[in-house]
Structure 1
Amino acid sequence: MNASFGEAPAVSRSVSVRSAVSEILPLLRRAADEALLGFTDADLREQAEAIRSSARYVLRVRAT
């Protein structure tokens, strides 16, 4: 199953890239853990980078 999400709102340009990602990562980790999703740190970092840059991101989920 593939789910495509729309573009995220842009993060203020005054916030550094590293800072923005470090703020987003804990939120993604908490949401993934609460939903019992097995995202790796690399998965979450990739998602955070996409959110930070307002890039489109395709979430791929395999149900077994």
Structure 2
Amino acid sequence: IHDIIRDLAGRGMGIIIISDEVPEVFHNCNRIMVMHKGRIIAEFDSTVTTEEEIQNCINMAS
């Protein structure tokens, strides 16, 4: 499935991935939004952030 996602994204299509697996999202997305109770609480650019920063945001929201 990841190959299909990369192929579609490479053709300019926008893809929405909903996952609780930070590494999966980090390595397959260029823009990452963290949601809590149905609201976006943070947005990250995967080229300038780390998996740890995203995970810390998730942990603080829980």
TM range, smaller chain = under 0.3
Greater RCO, CA 8 A, separation 6+: 1
User: More strand by proportion, 1 or 2?
Assistant: 2
TM-score, with length taken from structure 2: 0.26
User: More helix by proportion, 1 or 2?
Assistant: 1
TM-score, with length taken from structure 1: 0.26
